[in-house]
Amino acid sequence: MNLPVALVEALRQQARDAARNAYAPYSRFAVGAAVLTDKGEIYSGANIENASFGLSICAERNAIFHAVARGARKIVAVAVYTKTPQATTPCGACRQVLAEFGRDALVIC
């Protein structure tokens, strides 16, 4: 899928902005994500950790669930932001959720 450059940049910026709201006191690894729905709506999320690590949520799933909670059912793109110089791709759990709502979604890292 090809998206207009301006839309890709908007997704990246929303992911960057979302990372500022990450709650990552244990890993110190803030992540932000933004998803684009088939209706052109953008939803964002940040990773939120918990002392019981299994109860933590990744930014990508947070953004997807944010979209789904507002009625979206089809994700066409997801942007992921971290401060690392290398791209950080979605984990397996996030990819599984993405497969449910956006099997062919463009992943922007």
Catalytic site positions: 60
DSSP secondary structure of 52-89: SGGG-B-HHHHHHHHHHHTT---EEEEEEE-SSSS---
Contact 71, 64 (CB under 8 A): no
Question: Who's near 38: CB < 8 A, 6+ residues apart?
Answer: 72, 74, 75, 76
Contact 31, 16 (CB under 8 A): no
